[in-house]
Amino acid sequence: MISNMLRFPLSMFDDEMDRWFFPEAFAAGSARLRAGYPPINIGTTDKGVEVYLFAPGMDPKALDLVIEKNLLSVEGERKLPELEGDNNSVRQERFEGRFKRVITLPEDVDPDSAEASYKDGVLHIRIAKKPEAQKRQIQVSVN
Amino acid sequence: MNDVNKEVATREEQAPARQEAAEVVTLRPATDIVESKDGVTLYIDMPGVSKDSLSVDVDQNVLSVKGAINLHTPEGLSPTYMDVHSGTFERHFTLGEQLDSSAIEAHLEQGVLKLSIPRSEKHKPRKIEVKVA
Place A139 in a pLDDT band, splitting at 50, 70 and 90.
Answer: confident
pLDDT at A83: 85
Average per-residue pLDDT in chain B? 84
How far CA A110 is from CA of A52, A66, A74, B93, B133, in Å, comes to 18, 13, 18, 47, 84
Selected for mutation to probe chain B from A15, A41, A61 (highest B CB count within 10 Å) is A41
Chain B neighbors of A32, CB-CB under 8 A: 27-28
In chain A, where the domains are located: 1-32, 35-81+92-133
Q: What's the pLDDT at A4?
A: 36
Q: Domain for residue B133, yes or no?
A: no
pLDDT at B118 over 90: yes
Does some domain include residue B129?
Answer: no
ipTM: 0.77
Residue A28 has pLDDT above 70, yes or no: no
Task: Write the CATH number for B110.
Answer: 2.60.40.790
Q: What is the pLDDT of residue A17?
A: 42
pLDDT at A58: 94
In sequence order, the 6+-apart residues with CB closer than 8 A to the CB of A91 are A15, B31, B32, B33
pLDDT digits (tens, 9 = 90+) for B11-41: 665 444 444 444 568 999 999 999 998 899 9
Q: Using alpha carbons, select from B100, B102, B98, B104 the residue that is nearest to residue B123.
A: B98
CA distance A14 to chain B (A): 7
Amino acid identity, position B133: A
CATH class of the structural domain A35-81+92-133: mainly beta
Check pLDDT > 90 for residue A8: no
Contact B12, A18 (CB under 8 A): yes
Q: So what's the pLDDT on residue A23?
A: 40
- Structure confidence at residue B117 (pLDDT): 94
Print the domain residue range for B68.
Answer: 7-73+80-123
Condensed to tens digits (0 to 9), the pLDDT of residues A81-133 reads 888 888 899 899 999 999 999 999 988 899 999 999 999 999 999 999 988 87
Domain count, chain B: 1
Report the chain A residue with the minimal C-alpha distance to residue B35: A88
Regarding predicted confidence, which is higher, A5 or A88? Answer: A88
Q: What is the pLDDT confidence band of residue B132, given thresholds at 50, 70 and 90?
A: confident
How confident is the model over B46-59, as a mean pLDDT?
95
Vertex B90: Cα angle to B51 and A22 (nearest 5)? 155
Average pLDDT of chain A?
A: 78
- Scan residues 69-88 of B and list those with Cβ closer than 8 Å to A: 70-86
Rounded to an integer, what distance in angstroms lies between the CA atom of residue A58 and that of residue A76? 9
| Cβ contacts of A40 on chain B, cutoff 8 Å | 81, 83
Nearest residue in A to B88, CA atom? A31
Alpha-carbon distance of B46 to B68, in angstroms, equals 9
* Whole-number pLDDT of residue B130: 87
Please list, residue by residue across A112-136, b when 16 or more beta carbons sit within 10 angstroms of its beta carbon and e when fewer do: eebeeebbbbbbbbbbbbeeeeeee
CA atoms within 13 A on the CB side of B103: 12
pLDDT of B1 strictly over 50: no
Which pLDDT belongs to residue B129?
82
* CA-only gyration radius of chain A, Å: 23
The pLDDT score that the predictor gives to residue A72 is 95
Read off the pLDDT of residues B61-104 as tens digits, 9 standing for 90 and up: 899 999 999 998 999 999 999 999 899 999 999 998 889 988 99
Question: Between B25, B40, B72, which is nearest A30 by CB?
Answer: B25
pTM of the predicted model as reported, rounded to 2 decimal places: 0.75
Report yes or no: B21 at the A interface, CB cutoff 8 Å. yes
* DSSP 8-state code for residue B16: H
Q: CA of A46: which chain B residue's CA is closest?
A: B76
- Asked if residues A25 and B12 have their Cβ atoms less than 8 Å apart, the reply is yes
E strands in A11-114: 40-44, 48-54, 64-68, 71-78, 88-91, 97-104
Sheet strands side by side (includes A115-119) = A115-119, A122-128, A48-54, A40-44, B78-82
- The candidate with the shortest Cα–Cα distance to A131, out of A143, A116, A113, is A113
